[in-house]
Structure 1
Amino acid sequence: MRKVNILFLVGLCLGALVALVFVVAEPARHIVTALGPTPVAAAGSTDTSVSAPPPTSTPPSRTSGSPKTTPSSSAGKPSVDKTGQGDRTAALESLVPQGHVSAVVYDRTTGATTLSVNADRAYTSASLVKLLIAVAALENGNPAGTVKEMLSRSDDTTASTLWVANGETKIVTDAIRTMGLKETHAPTSPGRWGDTEITANDITRIYQYLLTDAPATVRTTILAGLHSATEFGADGFRQYFGIPDAAGPGNFAVKQGWSCCRPTRMLHTSGLVNGDRYIVTVLTEQPQSVDYDMASDQVTAVVKDLLPLLGK
């Protein structure tokens, strides 16, 4: 009888031990399964010359590097002439075969968005954010001549000085509220103003604000800078790609953007065409294998394809 009791106790102990192992091991398995492998976020490119201090990590980009998509919204007025829109989208995307392209054309005379292609896709802004820096600087009393020079030559050094002096990321968050920007996000690293996230929709909204709602002194100074954009930027880069080369001398006011390479190349052209009647925004993202010369030619080809929409 004593032997039976001993065997019974041993069995109970072994059973308890097995149950304990199962309880401990089972949650651990679920924890590992739930976490899975650490995801690698897609990185947007940035202008290496516009950051102070340099970032310690690559900021995430919500849709940068994602597949091309049909836009879900358009800039400006909600009415968009969609006649042949699918053909136009395919035509523009074929001109940037290795990358991504977004475009918006807004007719200020009719109040209609006549083209909207991939208009809600996100890109890092490069120097397009200087439009927001300029607004904040002028509203805070910075010299108009300094702001105009920053815009016309796309001067990074001046932009960095004005960025810091006027609140860094607060410049972007204030503009989001004031201008009704819906898809713009301040950079994760405050020192990297070129990493501000933008879309073609919101760049178009910025121009609409400048032309209709901004204080007169702000509007006058910024438009003067855009109308006097120099062929070469302060860093020596030729900034007449896109709108200037396509529209021809005297027919444009522009703010351009270029940056590379974390890990991609951004090249943007934006501004006013044909007596400031049309707001044109073209944003592109390319792999590093597409050099600046080729990327510039492709952006110009995109704008040339839009000329029939611009009275050209």
Structure 2
Amino acid sequence: MRRTNTFLLAGMILGAVIAFLVTTAEPYRQVITAAGPASGSSVLAASTDPGTPGASPKHSTGSAAPQQAAELPALVPQGHVSVVVYDRSTETTPVSLDAHRHYTSASLVKILIAFDALDRGTSPATVREMLSRSDDDTASKLWVSGGQTSIVRAAVPEMGLTETKPPRNPGRWGDTEITAADITRVYRYLMDKAPAEQRDTILRGLRGATENGADGFRQYFGIPDALGDAHWAVKQGWSCCNPGRILHTTGLVNDDRYIVTVLTENPRSVSYETASAQVTEVVKHLPGIR
């Protein structure tokens, strides 16, 4: 009987220790997950801020976010979608979906080109024009004069980017490798750390985005179409096909309170018209950004 009691007591103590370890693991992280029906990716809401390397996790209190975020992968049924919504006023990330999946940047790298060009004394008017019309010719000239891949390599430590890589072919700036988490960091650098003159020039370019880009492509998909006449500042990206059809919408909305990053990649068989509509629907489903 004494031996039985000893085993029973030891078992109770071991159980209590295991329960304590389970309940105290990751005490600062509360992750709400929902499986994505298309890609199998996880949706994180009220999760660690993916836009600040090494920052303490902060949480959102919106109960509707997980349910709405779980719907996002189904809106891009044949491809991939990554989303980060960062709330600058509360310093939280209410929506994060596949934030660390890698994409080619298309024209999003023009923000990095803009910073470098302004550092080198390029006319602010030239930079604004490149951004607002997403002008590839101007971007290519500034890319070459700025040292091509050195533009990206310099931006990585300056902006705290952890997943951005220069293109393998130095002549193809649109193949710069990015993630939604890192693009969010770029916007946070723009708003919180960039020199005031550079911030003003770049924001004026993003706020003045024209409906059609310099190449004639309609660039009001995503944030502009979803939010209409609401106050926004956007940089869009589109390209095909290395390897798939890329459409990105990114920017600041709701009086610059929210940073919204939506990156997508579809097979070539999905038309630009269909892919553009999908990106717009993703933005419409984002909770609380209006």
Q: Normalized against structure 2, the TM-score is what?
A: 0.81
Amino acid at match of 2:176: T
Partner of 1:273: 253
Partner of 1:186: 166
Q: Residue 139 in 1 paired to residue 115 in 2?
A: no
List per-residue Cα deviations over 1:189-239 (Å, max 9, x = no partner).
Answer: 100000000000000000000001001111000000000000000000000
Q: Residue 70 in 1 paired to residue 42 in 2?
A: yes
Inter-CA distance 71–164: structure 2 relative to 1 (3 Å threshold): farther
Partner of 2:142: 162
Offset of residue 86 of structure 1: 5.2
Amino acid at match of 1:309: G
Rounded to whole Å, the distance in 1 between the matches of 2:64 and 2:131 is: 35
Partner of 1:309: 288
Alignment of 1:35-50 (within 5 A): none
Amino acid at match of 1:179: M
Question: Between Structure 1 and Structure 2, whose CA radius of gyration is higher?
Answer: 1
| Mean CA deviation greater in 118-127 or 80-89 | 80-89
Amino acid at match of 1:215: P
SS of the residue 1:309 aligns to: coil
Q: Which runs of 5+ in 1 are unaligned?
A: 1-66
List per-residue Cα deviations over 1:144-172 (Å, max 9, x = no partner).
Answer: 00000000000000000000011110110
Inter-CA distance 281–303: structure 2 relative to 1 (3 Å threshold): same
Rounded to whole Å, the distance in 2 between the matches of 1:262 and 1:68 is: 23
Rounded to whole Å, the distance in 2 between the matches of 1:190 and 1:69 is: 31
Which of 81, 95, 98 aligns to 2:60? It is 81
Rounded to whole Å, the distance in 2 between the matches of 1:90 and 1:115 is: 10
Amino acid at match of 1:69: S
Rounded to whole Å, the distance in 2 between the matches of 1:206 and 1:263 is: 24
Rounded to whole Å, the distance in 2 between the matches of 1:84 and 1:134 is: 37
Partner of 1:172: 152
Offset of residue 178 of structure 1: 0.2
Partner of 2:217: 237
Amino acid at match of 1:121: R
Check conservation: 1:127, 1:194, Cα contact below 8 A. yes
Rounded to whole Å, the distance in 2 between the matches of 1:89 and 1:158 is: 37
Partner of 1:253: 233
How many matched pairs? 245
Rounded to whole Å, the distance in 1 between the matches of 2:253 and 2:193 is: 19
Q: Normalized against structure 1, the TM-score is what?
A: 0.75
Amino acid at match of 1:99: G
CA RMSD of aligned residues (A): 1.8
Rounded to whole Å, the distance in 2 between the matches of 1:190 and 1:94 is: 35
SS of the residue 1:181 aligns to: coil
In percent, how many aligned pairs have the same letter?
61
Check conservation: 1:68, 1:100, Cα contact below 8 A. no
Q: Which runs of 5+ in 2 are unaligned?
A: 1-38
Check conservation: 2:65, 2:94, Cα contact below 8 A. no
Inter-CA distance 87–225: structure 2 relative to 1 (3 Å threshold): same
